[in-house]
Structure 1
Amino acid sequence: MNPTTLPVAVDARDERVFDAVRELLGRQGMQMSMDAVAQQAGCSKQTLYSRYGSKQDLLRRVVQRHVGDASGILLRALRSDDLRASLLQFATDFLEHFNQPHVGQACRLIAADASQFPEEARTLYREGAGALTLHLAEWIETVCRRGLLRHDDPHYMAELLLSMIAGQDFDKQRFHTPHRDDARARRRWAEFSVDGFLRAFAPEPAAVPSTNQHRSFS
């Protein structure tokens, strides 16, 4: 995974602004304004524009930070030969994040506003889910080269794994249907999806050299 794709470090002021953006996305979706962010973060709108540029650029930075945190798990996992444990940690963190109430609410509001704010919506997807899938694909390709997974299209493998981890839980939340709303249930699903992925892409067994020898008969 190319470290240059990860976001730069942030300071305390960035953290206040990013926290404000995340909270406002959960309340207002794409209708969120820079005025509201400035008020929530306790700074001026001029400071926001001078430090982050446009609202779209600010959203990009916030999403990059989240993807950077998730990708950091993968980078650390590359140092371990325990593939199942690495994927299970990733899956568990993924599910925990998207089961936070403000995250689910933000996703619903953003989806509802996507047609009205298409550029912002595309930015959020490209820098969020799209970037995470790319990072995961790069990690999977490295794992395949180490012989820990059967080599296949790493981008398809990454998309499949994320779909398996997500399951139908987010749709159930969106339609106010009972879902995996506790850590134990999410852990069981993470184990099920990761184990299914590992079975599907288990390395090919090594070929056993033939031991047949010509026999001489007297």
Structure 2
Amino acid sequence: MPRVPGQIDQAKTEAILDAAVEVIGERGLAAPMEAIARRAGVSKQTVYNHYGSKAELMRALMQRRVEAITAPLREPGAVENPAEALEAYARSVLETVITTKRYSMMRVIILGSGELPDVAKEVYEAGPLSARRQLAAFLKTETELGRLKVEDFDQAAEFFSGMVMGHSQLRSLLRLPSEKTQEEYGRLAKEAAARFMKAYAP
């Protein structure tokens, strides 16, 4: 069955973003858009039609990543089961941090941030900052429903992220092997959610 135009556009978008992750991970933040287009199997103009600049492309990459990481906060029943939602969110965060292939792009972004500060700004705002704000919004909803008692939602979101990430993020950025197994990370996510719920219990 042939795909409709909207499906074709979406397929090209995903191909471009997937190619950008690979090419930028291999060649750095200054990788030319032509190389991304070749890897995606599209023309350079097609890439620019979708994303007018490298900064816009990186913002789209980060938005897609954040959508995947924060998905547990939007799952049906998440609001009714905040402990489970926070645990699932923590697992999602850890999966991104400890999977070297997915996190290699963040390393090259950091390396190239001095030369391309506008791109670095887009990455931060669409990535870490957006994820924290979505978590803060979730905590606000839970507080309004009486399941949590949080006064500073942004601060609490930062606390939870710090509990989950710990030194794992730094080890990943330094290309050091993980100190924990997948099972241990799962237990960490569960413990972080439990302690957070206890700390902010109404």
Structure 2, unpaired ranges of 5+: 1-6
SS state of the match for residue 151, structure 1? Answer: coil
Q: Is the 8 A contact 2:150 2:156 kept in 1?
A: no
SS state of the match for residue 147, structure 1? Answer: coil
Letter in 2 for 1:89: A
Going from structure 1 to structure 2, the CA distance change for 1:169 and 1:149 (only over 3 Å counts) comes to: same
Q: Is the 8 A contact 2:70 2:92 kept in 1?
A: no
Residue 94 (structure 2) pairs with residue 95 (structure 1): yes
Aligned-pair CA distance for 1:183: 1.4
The answer for the alignment partner of 2:104 in structure 1 is 105
The answer for the alignment partner of 2:43 in structure 1 is 44
Q: Is the 8 A contact 1:172 1:178 kept in 2?
A: yes
Q: Deviations over 1:62-92 (max 9, x none)?
A: 2111222233321225554222111111111
Letter in 2 for 1:145: E
Q: Kindly indicate which of the two structures has a greater share of residues assigned to helix.
A: 2
Q: Is the 8 A contact 1:180 1:186 kept in 2?
A: no
The answer for the alignment partner of 2:30 in structure 1 is 31
Letter in 1 for 2:146: G
Aligned-pair CA distance for 1:176: 4.6
- How does the TM-score come out when normalised to structure 2? 0.89
Q: Is the 8 A contact 2:97 2:168 kept in 1?
A: no
Letter in 2 for 1:187: G
The answer for the alignment partner of 1:157 in structure 2 is 156
1: distance between equivalents of 2:61 and 2:177? 30
Going from structure 1 to structure 2, the CA distance change for 1:110 and 1:181 (only over 3 Å counts) comes to: farther
Residue 47 (structure 2) pairs with residue 20 (structure 1): no
Q: CA RMSD in A?
A: 1.9
Q: Is the 8 A contact 1:78 1:139 kept in 2?
A: no
Q: How many residues were matched structurally?
A: 195
Give the greater-gyration-radius structure (CA).
1
Structure 1 segment 73-92 matched on structure 2, within 5 A: 73-76=72-75, 79-92=78-91
Q: Deviations over 1:101-153 (max 9, x none)?
A: 12232222111111111110010000011111111111110001111111311
2: distance between equivalents of 1:36 and 1:56? 16
2: distance between equivalents of 1:124 and 1:28? 17
Q: Is the 8 A contact 2:79 2:142 kept in 1?
A: no
Structure 1, unpaired ranges of 5+: 1-8, 204-218
Using the TM superposition, name which of 135-144 and 68-77 deviates more. Answer: 68-77
2: distance between equivalents of 1:80 and 1:35? 44
Q: Is the 8 A contact 1:145 1:151 kept in 2?
A: no
Aligned identity (percent) is 28
